Amino acid sequence: MLVGTLNREFLAHNAVRSYPLAGDATKRPKMGGDFALPDNLLVAMRLAISASPSEIDVNGFYISRLTVYPEGANLVISYGGSPVGTASLSADTSYTTFPVIGLNDFHGLAGHITLGSFDRSCCWVGDYQFDHSGTKLDPDVIQYAPNSITSITIVTPTRTRRITSGDVCIIGGDKISITITDDDHCPSGPGGTGGPGTGGDDGERDTVVVISRQNDDTGGRGCIRLINGVGPDEDGNIDITPVTPCLKLEKEPGGITINEVCCDPCCGCEELKAITQSIAEIQQGNADIRQYQERMDREMQQLITNLNITGI
């Protein structure tokens, strides 16, 4: 019978052993030297991936880069030489858990990492790179998770991206209908075979969400997508704003009227017709006067000639 035997708590136990690194990891960076990662720096880690053992080898993960500064550290997790996750650690408190963010859509990788102690951080601040043999992770760190939707990325017409997670409610907007049905004819997609009668990879019936456009009365006409190369905002609107108070926009059925209100005409068509006729009469009168003047000039010249002949 064992009396008075105490076991170390899980995190305290990990602070004096290699975990979450593999037991045979060298903990030394590629540049060599006497530096090695202390056992009490990281005391726990869990990574979940949406993949099967045939796709991912749990022995292939390792910490490829560790940037240490007095206030904390940033680390990069890689698989097969490519970064797949990253985490930022703060040195304020020990035994604190921080999220691991997946990179490059690597099988939906997500997880957490627990910081042990930064007591020795003043001695080894720097930027370190590791290969697989130096910082490979213990296989127990990796957890195969079933394929699932972890987030939905929404792309607006202006190409703005927004990632939504948690409880997401999808509601059909104007002219859009959404139906949910169980179907064993789910079409194939990324990562799945699907096809008629297969029900996806697992042979079960799939839940299918159908988003369709309702019939409308547009008569087959399209819609305006761009005006002079300008697309709509997030609400689907394109604002037309006058740059001067002399322009007035008015809505009409099927269109927009742009009126210039600072230079209204002083007369109508009848008044313009009368003015035009008066101008024509004045022009004709001027022509008659010029003809009369020319005739008078000829007669005066003839009179002068006659006087010269008679010697008067």
User: How do residues 105-114 score in pLDDT, each as one tens digit?
Assistant: 788 888 999 9
One domain, residues 107 and 46: yes
Report the number of distinct structural domains present in the chain.
Answer: 3
Whether the per-residue pLDDT at 118 is higher than 60: the answer is yes
One domain, residues 125 and 209: no
One domain, residues 123 and 20: yes
In a domain, 69, yes or no: yes
Residue 205: pLDDT band (50, 70, 90) is low
Widest CA span of the chain, in angstroms?
171
Q: Above pLDDT 90, what percent of the chain?
A: 24
One domain, residues 124 and 198: no
- Please list, residue by residue across 220-248, b when 16 or more beta carbons sit within 10 angstroms of its beta carbon and e when fewer do: eeeeeeeeeeeebeeeeeeeeeeeeeeee
pLDDT, one tens digit per residue, over 148-186 is: 676 788 777 677 777 777 777 877 777 777 777 765 555
DSSP string, 217-275: SSTT------BTTBPP-TTS------SSTTEEEEEETTEEEEEE-SS--SS-HHHHHHH
* Mean pLDDT (the chain, rounded): 79
> Taking the model in full, what pTM does it have?
0.49
Domain that holds residue 298: 263-312
Domain boundary among 192, 216, 240: 216
In a domain, 198, yes or no: yes
Beta strands in the chain (DSSP E): 42-49, 61-69, 72-79, 82-90, 96-102, 110-115, 126-129, 142-144, 152-155, 161-164, 176-183, 206-213, 247-252, 255-260
